[in-house]
C-alpha cells in the first residue's frame, strides 16, 4: 500500500504583487504545499487569474480572499506555511495577527516574510532605515534573517528572507569573509530588472523609460546595505563595509552583481573558484564556474551562478540570480522546506525556460 505524505496548506499574503504571483507559481508545482488562500484586501472576491493570467491553468477559479476568510482557513489547519509578500510596514501586523491565531489554536505554523519587516534584530535598527514605527516589535525575536546557504539550521520558527540585491551580494561576499580571503571592504556594482521595483509603474520602472537604457540610483545610500552588513556579520562574525552602486537594467527579471575587494594573499582565479566550490559544496542551488555567469541562465529558477576572477591583489566575484525566485519567492520556499523538514529542493527543480 502506498502512503501519500500529508499536504501542508499554504497561505500567501501580498495580493497582486509580482512576488505573490511567483509564490503561487512555485506552490502550484510543489509536491507537499497546497495553496489554501491568498489574501488581498482590495481584490477580495476577484479571480486570481485576472491578476495573473499566466497562472490560469493551475488556478482557473481561485479567488483572492479577505482577511476574515484567511483567518477561517487558518483555523481549520493542523499545519500551515505562511508566506508574506506584503509591503514593508504592512506585513508585520498581518503576520503577527495570523501567527497569534495559529498559536492560540495549537496550529503548527511557520512563516517566511519576504518583506523587510523582520530583517532587523531591533525596532531601532528597522526604524532607522524605514522611518516609521515597527508594527509588531514583540514578534521580532521569533524571526531570523539569513540565506539558507549561510545558516544550516534556523534558531527560530520563522524566517525573514533577505532582499533580492542582498541575496546576490551575500552569496558573492560571505565566502570571502568566512574564508578570510580579502579585506572586509567591498565595492559593488549591481543591476536589477524592473520587476524588483514592484508592479506599479514609476519613472524608474515604466518600460518605455527603462527600455534600452541603464542608470544608477541610490548610489552609496541603498536602504538594503544595513541589512547586508548585518547578515554578513551574522554569517561570518565580521564587520564589513559595503560600498554599493545599484543600477536599473532594461530587462524584467534578474540581478547581476559584481563584488570587488582586495585579496589578503595572492590567489589565482582557479584557487578562488575552488575555495568557493568547497564553501558551497553542500548548497544545491549555488553553482560556481569559470565562465562569466549570465542572467538568462537563471531566470525563473532558484539557482545562483557565481564566478571569480583575480589579478594581483584584486578580486571580482560575479553573481547572477532571478530577483523574483532565488531573491524572493524561491528562497522563501527553500526556507519553508527546511522549516517543515522537507527536502530543501522540493518544488524548486522545474527547468528554467531559457532564452527569456
Cα–Cα nearest to 166, from 297, 298, 295, 255: 255
- Give the neighbor-by-neighbor strand order of the sheet with 158-160: 33-39, 8-13, 79-84, 108-113, 158-160, 143-145
pLDDT at 42 over 90: no
* Nearest Cα to Cα of residue 123 among 138, 101, 143: 138
**What does DSSP say about strands 143-145 and 158-160: parallel, antiparallel, or unpaired?**
parallel
Q: Pull the grid cell for residue 152.
A: 544550516
Q: What's the rounded mean pLDDT across residues 322-341?
A: 98
- Domains of the chain in start order, with CATH, are 8-145 (3.40.50.720), 164-323 (3.30.360.10)
pLDDT tens track for 333-348: 999 999 999 999 999 9
Which is the catalytic residue, given 80, 111, 164, 231?
A: 164
> Helix or strand or coil: residue 73?
helix
Give the span between the Cα atoms of 251 and 188, in whole angstroms: 20
The answer to whether 33 and 334 are in contact (CB under 8 A) is: no
Task: Give CA angle at 325 (122, 188), nearest 5°.
Answer: 65
Which of the four pLDDT bands, split at 50, 70 and 90, describes residue 3? very low
As a whole number, the mean pLDDT across the chain is 95
| Distance, CA of 248 to chain centre | 18
| pTM for the full predicted model | 0.96
145 annotated active-site: no
The residue among 212, 210, 180 whose CA lies nearest residue 195 is 210
Question: What is the predicted pLDDT for the residue at 4?
Answer: 56
Render pLDDT for 177-221 as a digit per residue (tens, 0 to 9).
999 999 999 999 999 998 887 777 777 777 788 889 999 999 999
pLDDT at 8: 98
Amino acid at each position: 500500500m502506498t502512503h501519500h505524505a500529508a499536504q501542508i496548506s499554504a497561505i500567501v499574503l501580498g495580493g497582486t504583487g509580482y512576488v505573490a504571483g511567483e509564490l503561487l507559481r512555485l506552490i502550484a508545482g510543489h509536491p507537499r504545499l497546497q495553496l489554501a488562500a491568498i489574501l488581498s484586501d482590495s481584490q477580495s472576491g476577484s479571480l486570481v487569474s485576472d491578476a495573473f493570467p499566466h497562472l490560469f491553468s493551475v488556478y482557473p477559479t481561485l479567488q483572492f480572499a479577505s482577511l476574515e476568510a484567511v483567518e477561517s482557513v487558518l483555523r481549520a489547519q493542523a499545519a500551515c506555511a505562511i508566506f508574506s509578500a506584503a509591503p514593508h510596514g504592512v506585513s508585520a501586523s498581518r503576520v503577527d495577527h495570523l501567527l497569534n491565531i495559529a498559536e492560540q489554536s495549537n496550529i503548527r505554523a511557520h512563516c517566511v516574510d519576504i518583506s523587510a519587516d523582520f530583517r532587523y534584530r531591533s525596532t531601532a535598527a528597522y526604524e532607522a532605515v524605514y522611518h516609521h514605527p515597527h508594527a509588531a516589535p514583540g514578534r521580532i525575536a521569533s524571526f531570523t534573517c539569513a540565506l539558507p546557504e549561510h545558516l544550516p539550521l534556523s534558531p527560530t520558527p520563522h524566517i525573514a528572507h533577505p532582499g533580492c540585491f542582498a541575496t546576490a551580494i551575500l552569496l558573492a561576499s560571505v565566502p570571502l569573509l568566512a574564508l578570510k580571503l580579502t579585506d572586509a571592504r567591498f565595492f559593488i556594482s549591481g543591476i536589477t530588472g524592473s520587476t524588483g521595483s514592484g508592479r506599479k509603474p514609476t519613472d524608474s520602472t515604466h518600460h518605455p523609460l527603462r527600455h534600452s537604457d541603464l542608470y544608477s540610483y541610490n548610489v552609496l545610500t541603498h536602504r538594503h546595505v544595513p541589512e547586508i552588513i548585518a547578515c554578513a556579520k551574522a554569517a561570518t562574525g565580521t564587520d564589513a563595509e559595503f560600498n554599493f552602486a545599484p543600477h536599473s537594467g532594461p530587462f524584467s527579471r534578474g540581478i547581476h552583481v559584481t563584488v570587488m575587494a582586495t585579496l589578503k594573499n595572492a590567489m589565482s582565479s582557479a584557487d578562488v573558484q575552488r575555495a568557493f566550490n568547497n564553501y558551497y559544496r553542500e548548497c544545491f542551488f549555488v553553482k560556481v564556474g569559470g565562465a562569466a555567469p549570465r542572467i538568462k541562465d537563471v531566470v525563473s529558477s532558484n539557482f545562483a551562478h557565481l564566478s571569480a576572477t583575480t589579478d594581483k591583489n584584486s578580486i571580482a566575484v560575479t553573481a547572477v540570480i532571478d530577483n523574483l525566485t532565488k531573491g524572493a519567492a524561491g528562497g522563501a520556499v527553500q526556507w519553508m522546506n527546511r522549516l517543515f523538514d522537507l527536502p530543501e529542493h522540493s518544488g524548486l527543480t522545474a527547468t528554467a525556460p531559457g532564452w527569456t
